[in-house]
Amino acid sequence: MSVEQKQKRIEIAAGRKKADLVIKNAGIVNVFTNEIIFGDIAVHDSLIVGIGEYSGKEEIDAGGKYVCPGLIDCHVHIESGMVTPVEFARVVLQHGTTTIIADPHEIANVCGIEGIHFMMNEAQFVPMNIYYMMPSCVPATPFENNGATLTARVMEPFAGSPHILGLGEVMNYPGVLVGDTEILNKIELYDNAVVDGHCSGLSEHELCAYKAVGVLTNHECTNIDEVISHLRLGMYVQIREGSAARNLADIISGLIERSIPLNRCVFCTDDKHLQDISREGHINYNIKKAICLGIDPIEAIKMATINPAQCYNLKRLGAVAPGYSADLLILSDLDSFNIEKVLFRGAVVCEKGKKPNISRIIDDPNVINTVRIPDLSPEHFAIKIDDITANVITVIPNQLITKREILPVSKDSENNFIPDEVFSKVVVVERHKATGNIGLGIVKGFGIRNGAIASTVAHDSHNLIIVGDNDADMLLASRELKRVNGGYTVVSGGEVIGTLPLPIAGLMSDGDASFVEDKLMEMIDSAKSLGVSDGIDPFVTMSFLTLPVIPELRVTDRGLFDVNSFSFIDI
């Protein structure tokens, strides 16, 4: 900022010149003193310069309504919404989110540095702040093959970028606890920035060790005792309310019951699907729910504004005060948190829940054509059963964890497993480098009859996964996703029933959010028609069958993996 710009601000703040914009007659939420101050807000060149009585070249009469800072989601994976950053922004802006801190972990596992460049580039085209954290675990584990490897040396050119706030969730906490050189090199690279955590169930000494190397946050706390143990060490607790993981009610109730200060508590969504955002809201939903549970409205607002801004060193965000960005919400009232207008840097971008009019055509060759698989045949999907029983992945309704069960299954005269209404075949095909790696397994709980479902969204390496009861439909599903460069598909009786193309890294659509939401619901209905039972989200459940860090039994492109013993096992 130049001296001349400062002089202009002084003139306006002192009341000697008109501001570019003045919001008149506002009930201003002061996050520093926990009070409502009635007055005007003067804005010049996207920044707030004065609070009090002002006149402006343009004026908005708030009519006594409340004005608070724009909301911050401090940990989110944009790719989980299956839309681009531009389209994701269109969805969340209408709910008052003007800043997101995203971890591009998913696309980095497919496209590496090129994927991160894509996400950073797309952030330039939206009327909101999109910051990123550098993914710390690419690949996430050594038990599967992904599309790229990010070492500390590869990350080094990004250190100091104003668009990258620090190191993304350190899932490799076992590596931290044993002093693994590579993960500590990554943490050292961001020693003067923020290091996000990802851990659960650590002992007192282990959590101290985790914090001692510089980890500042954690979004995996699920109960009040975990929360308190983190807060006592000076960590920030990211209270998560996503689609699968909903921890807010338990944590907020515990904080109230124990009268714990909230200054190091912040909100995040982590993974929240578009249809859930459309139905419930985004961070505004977290605020409303916290208020309903008994949190004072201003305290709830602080958890979505000034607290995360201070955590991530965003000195111009999170407050309605001179020197802060004019990212503002005009609210009809505080308790219901109904948003009437959303301003970003002093410009109105949304009114009464309408999406902003922004669009973007994707033309980056580095993030398309990522589904590279060899020609497959039924022989590739054959599962040999030497005994009358087999290791089975048993899905638990409404949960991501599975059970390892040893159960009797059917087989033919050549000892090939025969799927039925209870047991389905699951196949994982490496899809990044056409290595030919194929992992096979048997899964109980999908109940698919006369068909198959498939996806290139398969955490965290995002290989091609197929679940079905016959090889012909499973092969057709693999060919369909190769044809459309990734996505979801449902096949039955030799026909493709429906496909949601996700051509950007096999993770994101190049269409708008409404198309993705409508098509996804159609796809889920199609999968249900094949027999997938209630309590099983067919595509979400399938996408986590490949993640070899969640108990008990998983399957990757390298085979069947027992998480409890951290080893591959025979079917």
DSSP string, 119-138: HHHHGGGSSSEEEEEE-S-S
Question: What is the predicted pLDDT for the residue at 301?
Answer: 98
Cβ atoms of residues 481 and 456 within 8 Å: yes
The answer to the question of residue 323 being in a domain is no
Domain end (from 64, 96, 111):
64
Same domain, 556 and 431: yes
Find, among 65, 23, 61, 57, the residue nearest to 42 by Cα: 23
Q: How many domains does the chain have?
A: 3
**Residue whose structure tokens are 């949190």:** 295
User: Which residues in the chain come in under a pLDDT of 50?
Assistant: none
Centroid of chain to Cα 484: 24
pLDDT tens-place string over residues 333-342 = 999 999 999 9
Amino acid at 237: V
Question: What is the predicted pLDDT for the residue at 251?
Answer: 95
Domain end (from 21, 37, 64):
64
The answer to the question of residue 335 being in a domain is no
- Own/partner pairs for 484-488, CB < 8 Å, 24+ apart? 485/368, 485/369, 485/370, 485/371, 486/370, 486/371, 486/456, 487/455, 487/456, 488/453, 488/454, 488/455, 488/457, 488/520, 488/523, 488/539
Same domain, 25 and 94: no
The answer to the question of residue 349 being in a domain is no
For residue 567, give every residue at least 6 positions away whose Cβ sits within 8 Å of its Cβ, in sequence order, or none: 561
Same domain, 398 and 541: yes
Same domain, 56 and 103: no
Same domain, 50 and 78: no
Same domain, 142 and 42: no
pLDDT tens-place string over residues 540-571 = 899 989 988 888 999 999 999 998 888 999 99
How far apart, in Å, are the Cα atoms of 537 and each of 83, 88, 90, 522? 19, 22, 26, 13
CA distance 400 to 244: 8
The answer to the question of residue 124 being in a domain is yes
Same domain, 254 and 383: no
The answer to the question of residue 330 being in a domain is no
Same domain, 58 and 165: no
Find, among 166, 173, 162, 83, the residue nearest to 129 by Cα: 162
Question: What is the predicted pLDDT for the residue at 397?
Answer: 85
**Residue 489 domain boundaries:** 368-569
Give me the sheet containing 215-218, strands edge to edge: 71-76, 97-102, 129-134, 164-170, 194-197, 215-218, 236-240, 265-268
Domain end (from 11, 46, 64):
64
The answer to the question of residue 398 being in a domain is yes
Question: What is the predicted pLDDT for the residue at 353?
Answer: 74
CA distance 530 to 270: 30
pTM, to two decimals? 0.93
Same domain, 244 and 377: no
Same domain, 40 and 122: no
Give me the sheet containing 438-444, strands edge to edge: 402-408, 389-395, 438-444, 423-429, 464-468, 452-455, 487-492, 495-501
The answer to the question of residue 348 being in a domain is no
**Secondary structure of residue 498 in the 3-state scheme:** strand
Same domain, 85 and 57: no
| CATH number for the domain that contains residue 60 | 2.30.40.10
**Residue whose structure tokens are 């190769």:** 482
CA distance 532 to 524: 9
The answer to the question of residue 223 being in a domain is yes
Same domain, 379 and 314: no
CA distance 213 to 210: 6
CA distance 287 to 305: 11
| CATH number for the domain that contains residue 210 | 3.20.20.140
